[in-house]
Structure 1
Amino acid sequence: MIRWVAPLLLLVAVVAGAWSWQVLNAPITIVQVTGDLNDHERQAIRRAVSASLDRGLLGVRLAVVKDSIRRLSWPREVTVRRLWPAGLAIDVEKERAVARWGAGGYLSTQGAVIPGSASQDEAVQLPLLSSEVASPREAMEVYRVLSDVLAVHGERIAVLRESELGEWHVQLQGGLSVALGRERLAERMQRFALVYARVLADQLDAVGYVDARYSNGVAVRWDPPLVAYKE
C-alpha cells in the first residue's frame, strides 16, 4: 500500500495546483491607470493593453503589457503590476514637451512627436520648430546645438524653421531673425553670437535682419543701410 502513497500525493498536488491556478488566475476586470494623464490618454492606454488581458491575472505577461503601452509615442516610463484579486495597476510618466512642432504638435527632448498636453500659457513659452526636409528628431538636434551656442550669451530661440530648400532660419526671443543656410550651422551661429555680443546687443531696435550664411562674417540689415561685419 505504501507504494501507492507517493503517486497519490503527487496526484493530489497536481490537482491542488491546477485548482489553485484556476482560482487565482481570475479574469482581469480592473485596469487602474495612474499618472498625469487626460481622459484621452487613459483610454488610449486601455485600448493598447486590451489584447493582453484575456490570459487572466496569473497568465498575463506584464512585459508584453508594458511594451504595448510604450509603443504609444508619448510614455517615457511605464510600470505594470498585478492588482489582486482581479486587476492590473499601470502607472505612466509622459514625455515632457520641450517645443511646439508645426501646426499643433509637440516635441519631446528626444525629438519624438507627442500629443499636446500643455496649457495655452505654457505652450506659448515653448519654442516653435518646423522643418520641410529634416525629421522631427533632426530638427530637435539642430535646436539643441544652436541653443547651446546662444545660451552662453543669454539668448534663447523662439522659432526655428527649415525651408523647402533645407535652409534654416532662427528667430530669437527678442524678435531678431537670423538666416543660417543649410550647412555649418553651429559655426555660423557662433559667428553671429560673437557679432551679437560685440555690436548688436545694445542696438537691437535698429536691426532688422541678420544673414549669417557667409564664410567669414555676417551681414546686418539696418534701417537702412546694409553693413557687413568681418572677424
Structure 2
Amino acid sequence: MPRDKLLNTYSERIRHFDEALRLQTRRINLLSLARFVVLVSIIWFLVLGIKTNAFLFYILSALMLVLFLYLVGIFNRHKGERELLRQLLLLNEKELACLKHDFHDLPDGSEHADTSHPWSHDLDLFGKGSLFQYLNRSSTLKGSAMLAALLTSEPGTAETILHRQKIISDLKDRIDFRQHFTASGELIKEKEGDHKDISHWLDTSTYISKYRWLFYLALGVSLLSVFIVIWGIFDPSRFLILLYLFVLNLTVLS
C-alpha cells in the first residue's frame, strides 16, 4: 500500500476510534448513573418493606437487585470495550508515528542482543533505531522473543520462506484483524515470569481436584448460599445459616 494511502488510513482510523472512545465513555457514565439510581431504589424498597411489612416492596427490591446485577455486567463489558478502543487508538497513533520515522520510543529489543551472533550485531537488529524496533508489533513477551528468533535464525529452506511470504500476503490487508489481535494482547499487561507462573499453576493439581466429592459439595454449598440469601430477604433470621455455610466454606472447601 502506498505511503500516502497508509497515512490517510491511519489518520482516518484515529478519528474513528477517538469518536468511538468518546461515545463509549458517555455510555459508561450513563450506566454509572443508572447503577446508582437502582442501588438507591433497592435500599428504598427494602426500607419500605421493613416499615410496612408489605411483601410487594420486598419483591420490588429483589427485582431492582436483579436489574442492578444486570447493569453491573453491562458496565463491566463496556469498560472492557473502552479499554480495547483506547488500545486501538494508541496503536494507530503509533503506526502513524512510525510512518513518519518516529519510532524511537518503542521497545528496541536490547534484551535479545547477542554480540557473539554472526550477523545481528553488524546489521543492528536490536537496539535504538534498529530493525527490531521498527518491525516489532508484538504485545507479549513470548511474541517479542519469537520475532527476535526469526530475525536471528536462517529460514532453512525455500519452502519456509515462501510459507512466511504467503502468511504476510494474507495478513497485509487485514488491518482490522491485525489491530484487534494486537490491541487485545496489549490488555494482558504481561510481566516477566507470568508465563512460567501460569505453566506451573496449570501443572499443579489442586486439593479439590483430588477428591471429586469436594467439588460437588462446594457447588451445593454455593447454590444453598444463594437460596438462603434470597430466603433471608423475607426472613432475616435465616442469615445465621449463611454464617455456618461461610465457616464451612472457609475451613473445609477453601
Give the TM-score range, shorter chain: under 0.3
Structure richer in helix, relative to its length: 2
- Greater relative contact order structure (CA < 8 Å, 6+ sep): 2
If you compute each CA radius of gyration, which structure gives the higher value, 1 or 2? 1
